[in-house]
Amino acid sequence: MDFSQITQQVTVDLDRALKEIQVDQIEDFITRIKTTKRVFVYGLGRERLVLQAFAMRLMHLGFDVHVVGDVTTPRIGKDDLFVTSSGTGYLSTVAALMPIAKEAGANIALVTAAADSPLLEHVDTCVLISVKTMRDDPSAQSSIQPLGALFEQTMYLMLDSIVLRLKQSMNITDESMTEFHTNLE
């Protein structure tokens, strides 16, 4: 395959994956973001990068948001939202942090590709992205992309679309978002 064929196939895969996400799951997630006191995001690897990008945009919308693991992350508490992801459905650090967040009174949102994830017992809301991940049989892959790439890309586009829905529903302009943009550049 040449570059053009590869990008065309990636685009087809992303379109299919995004269309399969349940709108009611997205709307519940959006409602929880809008009604929370603070948002805390946690992920590993490429999923962490996607969640950091999401945290940045939430900050641009005026939300009080923190990336778990940063030295300035405060204590999570009542009425906060802990947003995490695990494409494969289980990460030991996510499993360890969920009960801490729950005991502190926070709500938990999970983005995953695993409908059978043991992490689901701890969550208040979940967005399921129905794609193959590195946990699945490689011969059963429905995408040309390796490992969890399709999950990560779909999560990125989904979260950016959620930002657009929040921006729209909260009547936030691009100009007002720039007021929250860093000036230390």
- The pTM for the full model equals 0.94
Distance CA 48, CA 7 (A): 24
Please state, for a pLDDT cut of 70, what percent of the chain lies above it: 96
Residue 133 has pLDDT above 80, yes or no: no
Q: What is the pLDDT of residues 3-50, one digit of tens each?
A: 999 999 999 999 999 999 999 999 999 999 999 999 999 999 999 999
Residue 132 has pLDDT above 90, yes or no: no
The domains located in the chain, with CATH, are 19-178 (3.40.50.10490)
**Token representation of residue 27:** 């709307």
Residue 144 has pLDDT above 90, yes or no: no
Distance CA 58, CA 34 (A): 10
Active site residues: 152
Which whole number is the average pLDDT over 155-176? 97
